[in-house]
Amino acid sequence: MNLRATLRLAIQALVRNKARSLLTMLGIVIGVAAVIVTVAIGAGARVSVQQSIASLGSNLIVVQPGSVTQGGVRTGFGGASSLTPQDGLAIAQLPGVAAVSPIVSVRSQVVAGGNNWQTQITGVAPTYTFIKAWALASGRFLSESDVASIAKVAVLGQTVVTQLFPGGESPIGKTVIIKGSPFTVIGTMTVLGQSGMGQDQDDVVLVPYSSAMERLTGLTTVNLLMISAATAAQVNPVQSEVVSLLARRHRITPPQPYDFQVRNLQAFAQAASSTGTVMELLLAGVAAVSLLVGGIGIMNIMMVSVTERTREIGLRMAVGARARSILNQFLTESIVLSTIGGLIGVVVGVLGTILVALLAKWPTLIPPGWIFASVGFSAMVGIFFGYYPAQKAAHLSPIEALRFE
Amino acid sequence: MGGVVEVRNLRKIYPMGDDEVVALGGVDLSIERGEFIAVMGPSGSGKSTFMQIVGMLDRATSGSYSFEGRDVAALTDDERADIRSRRLGFVFQSYNLLPRTSALENVELPMVYAGVPEARRLDIALEKMDIVGIKSLADHMPNQMSGGQQQRIAIARSLVNDPALILADEPTGALDTKTSRDVMRIFSDLNATRDITIMLVTHEPDIAAFAKRIVTFRDGHILSDVPNVKRAA
Ligand SMILES: Nc1ncnc2c1ncn2[C@@H]1O[C@H](COP(=O)(O)OP(=O)(O)O)[C@@H](O)[C@H]1O
Ligand SMILES: [Mg+2]
């Protein structure tokens, strides 16, 4: 018998026992659906962790002043203010550096018309939007000439816009008072949302770092230097370049401790991503066990089916079926059952994933590979668990099968 | 007239725990092409056992059996399956039709295993169903048919591969008298007009009366083997 005829026979037999076929498939359907949903949740979680790290900037290198441990006294970050905008300019010349921005932070009251709002004032360079991958919503961003001229201009985050301009009028061209100095609003930023730490990143006023230093802090040093490496691969080389450059500029010679700290987020990104992968595999393992249980269900029902259809098997043998044809028929039935079960499981799993995404608002992602893998695995479950019952059917003696009550 | 079945000193012994049952205790029989034999005898005399061995559904314990000149004992299971497929037809007391399967598909079944191309199966099946007078029931399910109709389906099924020999074990055992006679007339007809060799088991003399030759079994032996002089019609 050829494959087509065998397939036809198997499908006929399954269609004739619709209820039992559906029940048999149920185990596989649930197993595959479980695989798809758990993998989708796992992969979704991993991707969202990766994305939130990427939004921080996985190419990001941060230089902080201080944290000098000397004579047992740890001064803590920012304890030694040593970083200057000139350090930043020097770093910008290093190969592999895409952008550098000094960061100057002050908390202050901001007043516009009758409204005032306590917020974060951040002095930055024009490169800041690039480093943060943060887009402008309206107006223009700070320019090099704003920095050079120590201009009293400001770009507002959306939270500040809503607090200071609740009427919905455009803030562009309006004046806001920061620590007594009037700043002209030249632009607004798009919504960035909460940071990984739960901070409102839109609750900020961006001003030229030179203006922040001159008019707000009165210091010649900055709080941070943010550096963006051109590629992820360049993060580590750039980081060591930065360390030796700053050591030279700050005239530090070993064993003298550095008066700055250079850190990047890549190690963290990798750790988070591998944790995600482990979780995903664990979930998939649990789901695979349920698939296996589905396979045992198939074997169980196929055994029952072989017993129930013993007379049918005897009749088929009487009219000329070889043992091989009987084996193929039952094996094919099992494979068809498990494969269709797998396909239905994929559909149920995808729908379940969509439901999870809609109701629980969890990030989900269905890797296409898993769809093929789970259908393929179902078919293999069908072969593996179908073989024994099929073998049993094929080895019946025709007369004993016919006589079976 | 060539020999279809040649059986010599055929024995079948069933083990029963420590004991054994001698179902056939040395049977000799020859069946020629075109014969119509009724096998009679009391219950337990070995009729079914004999049919099953001749039909290659079971193997003899000892003795020789040649079918169309081939030594059956030497055949593999697959070769026996192929002979059942192409040279033998079976009709059972309980019809043995596949449930939830149309009459037509039931009739086509042996051709599926014989590898007859799909296009030809339909023609052959309908032709054989026409011979036994049930062509109109082609798309009926077995449970929508009377016993007589089901048995005709089974007869049509036994005919599709143009067998050398049809074996029928109490084919009228489950049918009423009138239907039994109708079914027997079909066998008679097939034997007379199509020269099909038939061996059927029965313990009813009215049924055996349709055959040309009557073989009577008792306790695993042939008691008598005589031509039927007063054939029914
Ligand atoms: N599978 C079997 N196992 C054991 N004994 C059997 C089996 N089949 C038949 N027999 C015995 O063999 C003898 C002949 O049985 P059988 O051929 O069925 O007789 P009949 O068809 O003439 O009624 C009986 O004694 C029966 O009990
Ligand atoms: Mg019997």
Same domain, residue pair A314 and A241: no
Residue A161 has pLDDT above 90, yes or no: yes
| Residue A232 pLDDT | 79
3-state helix, strand, coil in chain A (%, to 5): 55, 20, 25
Looking at the complex, report in whole angstroms how far the Cα of residue A324 sits from the nearest Cα belonging to chain B. 9
Same domain, residue pair A33 and A68: no
Looking at the complex, report in whole angstroms how far the Cα of residue A386 sits from the nearest Cα belonging to chain B. 22
Compute how many other C-beta atoms are within 10 angstroms of the C-beta atom of residue A231: 10
> Which segment of A140-149, A205-214, A371-380 scores lowest on mean pLDDT?
A371-380
Q: Which residues surround ligand 2, an ion (CB under 5 A)?
A: B 48
Residue A368 has pLDDT above 70, yes or no: yes
Q: Please check whether residue B55 touches A, CB under 8 A.
A: yes
Evaluate: CB of B142 within 6 angstroms of ligand 1: no
User: Locate tokens 């898993």: which residue?
Assistant: A370
Inter-chain touch B58–A399, beta carbons under 8 Å:
yes
Give the DSSP per-residue string, A63-91: EEEB--EETTEE--BTSS----HHHHHHH
**Residue A225 DSSP SS3:** strand
| Residue A378 pLDDT | 86
- Last residue within a domain, chosen from A264, A281, A306: A264
Same domain, residue pair A205 and A295: no
**Residue A107 DSSP SS3:** strand
Inter-chain touch B99–A16, beta carbons under 8 Å:
yes
- Last residue within a domain, chosen from A264, A290, A319: A264
| Residue A23 pLDDT | 84
Same domain, residue pair A328 and A349: yes
Domains and CATH numbers, chain B: 1-87+165-172+196-228 (3.40.50.300), 89-162 (no CATH)
How many structural domains are present in chain A? 2
Q: Let me know how long chain A is.
A: 405
Closest Cα to residue B83, out of A398, A218, A110, A125? A398
Same domain, residue pair A138 and A190: yes
Residue A206 near residue A151, CB atoms below 8 Å: no
Same domain, residue pair A119 and A211: yes
Ligand showing the shortest atom-to-Cα distance for residue B170: 2
SS (H, E, C) A340-359: HHHHHHHHHHHHHHHHHHHH
Inter-chain touch A1–B112, beta carbons under 8 Å:
yes
Going A253 to A258 to A262 to A267, the CA torsion angle's sign is positive
Q: Chain B residues with CB inside 8 Å of A326's CB?
A: none
Same domain, residue pair A341 and A222: no
| Residue A43 pLDDT | 81
Looking at the complex, report in whole angstroms how far the Cα of residue B169 sits from the nearest Cα belonging to chain A. 12
| Residue A77 pLDDT | 45
| Residue A75 pLDDT | 46
Same domain, residue pair A384 and A281: yes
Give the DSSP per-residue string, chain B: --EEEEEEEEEEEEEETTEEEEEEEEEEEEEETT-EEEEE--TTSSHHHHHHHHTTSS--SEEEEEETTEEGGG--HHHHHHHHHHHEEEEETT--PPTTS-HHHHHHHHHHHHT--HHHHHHHHHHHHHHTT-GGGTT--GGGS-HHHHHHHHHHHHHTT--SEEEEESTTTTS-HHHHHHHHHHHHHHHHHH--EEEEE-S-HHHHTTSSEEEEEETTEEEEEEE-SS---
For residue A280, give its domain range.
3-52+271-403
For A5, nearest residue in chain B (alpha carbons):
B112
| Dist. CA A275–CA A283, nearest whole Å | 12
| Dist. CA A294–CA A304, nearest whole Å | 15
Residue nearest to atom 7 of ligand 1 (CA): B14
Best probe of the B interface among A7, A12, A319, by most B CBs < 10 A, is A319
- Distance (Å) from CA A396 to ligand 2 centroid: 21
| Dist. CA A49–CA B179, nearest whole Å | 79
Residue A259 near residue A65, CB atoms below 8 Å: yes
- Distance (Å) from CA B24 to ligand 2 centroid: 13
Same domain, residue pair A10 and A98: no
Quickly state the pLDDT bin for B131 (edges 50, 70, 90).
Answer: very high
Residue A70 has pLDDT above 60, yes or no: no
Of B58, B92, B101, the CB nearest to A16: B101
Inter-chain touch B157–A12, beta carbons under 8 Å:
no
> Tens digits of per-residue pLDDT, A94-114?
999 999 999 999 999 999 988
Residue nearest to atom 2 of ligand 1 (CA): B14
Tokens coding A56: 């921080």
Task: Give residues with Cβ within 8 angstroms of A76, minimum separation 6.
Answer: A66, A67
Phi then psi for B160, rounded to 5 degrees?
Answer: -60, -30
Same domain, residue pair A295 and A173: no
Residue B135 near residue B167, CB atoms below 8 Å: no
Which residues are bridge partners to B201 per DSSP? Answer: B39, B169
Same domain, residue pair A371 and A323: yes
- Last residue within a domain, chosen from A205, A239, A264: A264
Give the whole-number percent of chain B exceeding pLDDT 70.
99
Same domain, residue pair A157 and A180: yes
> Tens digits of per-residue pLDDT, A204-256?
999 999 999 998 998 888 999 999 998 878 888 999 999 989 988 888 877 77
> Tens digits of per-residue pLDDT, B196-224?
999 999 989 999 999 999 999 999 999 99
Quickly state the pLDDT bin for B13 (edges 50, 70, 90).
Answer: very high
